[in-house]
Structure 1
Amino acid sequence: MNTKKWKRSAFGVAALGAAFALTLSGCSSPAANDSGDGGDGGGGDEAYEFVFVPGVAGDEFYISMGCGIQDAVEAAGGTVSEQAPEKFDPTLQKPLVDSVTSSKPDALLVAPTDVKAMEAPIKAAEAAGIKVVLVDTTLEDPSAAVSQVSSDNVGGGEAAFSAIEEAHPDGGKVLVISVDPGISTTDQRAEGFQQAAEANDKFEYLGVQYSHNEPAEAARLVTAALQKDPDIVGIFAANLFAAEGTATGVKQAGAEDITIVGFDAGPAQVKQLEDGVVQALVAQEPRKIGEEGVAQALAALNGEETEEKIQTGFTVITQDNLDGEGGDAAYVSSCG
């Protein structure tokens, strides 16, 4: 288990601070929690207590999201802690969510690691009076959450194919390397890519293979795929670790003229882009997802209307825009 605790004074983005100051102006009143709708952390003179449970520790996407959550909560005068599983695995995430439920914070921002397996623990959190916001990933039945905040993942998959299509106008074989089936976000990215590829009869879609979030396994899959189909022209890697492994696999196979498009933009991926190993990156807006998640939780805690679904955009990063908007969209390894 990876656990972090953030409890700094209420400094952050000025605009967020102003907005949240208005939202929380009644939080010291006993009425704020008399209804029993929130957890134990928001009553009396205490600030609201948030917990963030990302999909996995050490992923710059979730680190960047955590920075947005941290700043937004601090701007609102609250406190936030993080509990992250060491692997993207519901058997590791479930005990963390169960522990959070037992501690009864006011709000839980969670990225479910499986659309089915995480339903029961998240429903238990909601039943305990905790306001739940699903960030990044979601559930088959998301009714326990007050809001879902995520990227336009289908659109991101389509954009990934467009980058390959532009590089190979004559078409060819294309492949997707993903994580595991049953993860809402990566399933949607593969879906968007497949739809776009099958709409162009110059391309042959070879399907999706699963790396279990292990770069070494992604590298092995890519090496084997290139041995079977050496005429592959493009590979879409559906998350950060898949992109790392895909680039390694292509290099190990000694393949040339393959366009690799990665989803996510951690420092390792940006370095691969700079070196020409990866030709494009589809960057999400993890910081904005975190900020929007906090805003929705605060609205729910204060009895205000929430938005059922919020979708954020993405930026396609190439060497051409890396010094501008592309570089601004890259993820961070730490807050500061």
Structure 2
Amino acid sequence: MKKRYSAVFAILLILLTVAPVFGQAAKKQLTFLFMPGVQDPFYTTMEKGVRAKCKELGVNLIVAEYPKAWGPEYQVPILQAYAQRGGFDGLLIAPTSVDALKAPLKAIYDKGVEIITVDTFLGDGDYSKPNTDYNFPLSYIGSDNYLGGKMIAEHLAKLVGEKGKVFCEATNPDASSVAARVKGFRDGIAQFPNMKLVGVEWCLDVQQKAQEQTLAALQKDKDIVGIFGTNVFSAQGANQAVVNAGLVGAIKIASWDATITNIENLKKGVIDLVLAQKPGEMGSLGVEWLYKYLTQKVQVPKKVIPGFEFFTKDNVNDPNMQQYIYQ
């Protein structure tokens, strides 16, 4: 009997000794890496959403160096440097190419790191497709850019009386988000028989180039009545071109991205419409879904699509709208 009690006591002692170790393992702090696409107000606002949610959930955050310009040639070396160091369990990234980021991200995934793409995606963005080389990310969290481009076209058409020539100043053709915005805008304008899209230019995220391209378009087609700027740099460059040409008011401008500059130009009457994405929400949702998957194995939706808000001269000073301005 004594031997039996001694054995039971020994087992209890072992369990009491090992239990705290298991408890510590269960409470291991997760670390996430955030890899933005480029240095601009959209991604700095997204970073704020990432930081806030990481703090709330007790996740350690590493923010990668912001690429100095858009493109895989700038983003991939930074990404690979952080991958070499390791030490992170999840990755939130805005891929700067639908194709060139596939292999670098797959290499990171194969090391056991879960990935969510934010704002932009790999391939066609449908990660549910089997037998593709881009179906490994958990989810794409970002805008429905095609829908946004089409809605911009519809709003701009109303502003110009549903007739006349319009121009699109875009940025990077290999960026999934921008390509979809241009396609949506093109298809949206095509719905109006008395309207014509006279050109699409790509500034490669260089605001000065966007300004020069827009000015050249205005000189070529002096009867342009509307312009769509597809992102921060293209929109702000296009806006400045219209100001320099002395055509404020004569040309209606729709801008993507609610930067402080775009909002101020809306208040001044330089811009007529600003589409606001929700980058802070994208970042927050990215952290939340990564955390839920890694801690609870919750099934993550393959796409999570926050909506849009539209700033106009009528609501630009509305206190409820100020939360959508990029910081």
Q: Distance in 1 between matches of 2:253 and 2:324?
A: 19
Alignment deviations for residues 296-335 of structure 1 (CA, whole Å, 9 cap, x no partner)? 2112212221111111100110121112243331111xxx
Q: In structure 2, which of residues 81, 85, 90 is the aligned counterpart of residue 107 of structure 1?
A: 90
Deviating beyond 4 angstroms after TM superposition, the runs of 4 or more aligned structure 1 residues are: 28-32
Q: Are 2:277 and 1:309 equivalent residues in the alignment?
A: no
Q: Which has the higher helix share?
A: 2
Q: 1:151 aligns with which of 135, 143, 157?
A: 143
Match of 2:279 among 264, 275, 286: 286
Secondary structure of the 1:245 match is helix
Task: Quote how far apart the aligned CAs of 1:254 are.
Answer: 2.2
Q: What is the aligned residue count?
A: 294
Which of 191, 210, 220 is the equivalent residue of 2:183?
191
The DSSP-based 3-state class of the residue aligned with 2:142 is strand
What are the residue-to-residue correspondences of 1:137-216 with 2, within 5 Å? 137-140=120-123, 141-216=133-208
TM-score, length of structure 2 as denominator length: 0.86
Tell me the CA shift for residue 29 of structure 1.
7.6
| Amino acid in the other structure paired with 1:105 | F
Aligned to 1:51: 33
1:173 alignment partner, SS class? strand
Question: Closer, same or farther in 2 for the Cα pair 1:276/1:106, shift >3 Å?
Answer: same
Return 5+ residue gaps in structure 1 as ranges. 1-27, 33-42
CA distances 1:260-308 after superposition (whole Å, capped 9, x unpaired)? 1110011111111111111110000111111111122112212221111
Is 1:122 the counterpart of 2:116? The answer is: no
Q: Measure how far apart 1:176 and its partner are.
A: 1.0
Q: Residues 286 and 191 of structure 1: is their aligned pair in 2 closer, same or farther, counting only changes over 3 Å? A: same
CA distance in 1, matches of 2:278, 2:241: 27
> Any conservation in 1 of the 2:162–2:192 contact (CA below 8 Å)?
no
Asked if 2 retains the 8 angstrom alpha-carbon contact of 1:321 and 1:327, the reply is no
Shift of 1:206: 1.7
Moved more, 169-178 or 189-198: 169-178
Question: Structure 1 residues 31, 123: CA separation in 2 closer, same or farther (over 3 Å shift)?
Answer: farther
Distance 2:323 2:313 in 1: 13
Q: Does the 8 Å CA contact 1:274/1:319 hold for their aligned counterparts?
A: yes
Q: How many angstroms apart in 2 are the aligned matches of 1:46 and 1:316?
A: 42
The aligned counterpart of 2:239 is 247
Task: State whether residues 32 and 61 of structure 2, in contact with CA within 8 Å, keep that contact through their aligned partners in structure 1.
Answer: yes
The amino acid across from 1:56 in the alignment is V
The one-character-per-residue Cα deviations of 1:228-272 (angstroms, maximum 9, x if unpaired) are 001111111000111110011112222251111110011111111
CA RMSD of aligned residues (A): 1.7
Tell me, yes or no, if structure 1 residue 73 matches structure 2 residue 69.
no
Q: 1:327 aligns with which of 303, 314, 322?
A: 322
Change beyond 3 A, Cα 1:278–1:300: same
Distance of 2:309 and 2:27 partners within structure 1 = 42
**Helix, strand or coil at the partner of 2:198:** strand
Identity percentage of aligned residues: 31
Alignment gaps of 5+ in structure 2: 1-19, 124-132
Q: For 1:74-124, what per-residue CA distance to the aligned partner results, in whole angstroms no more than 9, with x for missing partners?
A: 101111121111111211100121122221401110000111111111111
**Corresponding residue number in structure 1 for 2:269:** 276
Deviations 1:170-213 (A, max 9, x none): 41111111111111001111111111101111100123210110
**Which one-letter code corresponds to 2:269 in the other structure?**
G
Larger Rg: 2
Letter in 1 for 2:95: P
Cα 1:157/1:170, change in 2 over 3 Å: closer
Alpha-carbon separation, structure 1, partners of 2:186 and 2:155: 14
Distance in 2 between residues matched to 1:189 and 1:288, nearest whole Å: 20
Where 2:255 maps in the other structure, the secondary structure is strand
Q: Is the 8 A contact 1:147 1:309 kept in 2?
A: yes
Deviation track 1:32-77 (CA, whole Å, cap 9, x = no partner) reads 9xxxxxxxxxx565411011101102x1111111111101111011
Q: How far apart, CA to CA, are the structure 2 residues paired with 1:320 and 1:170? A: 21
Aligned partner of 1:8 in structure 2 is none
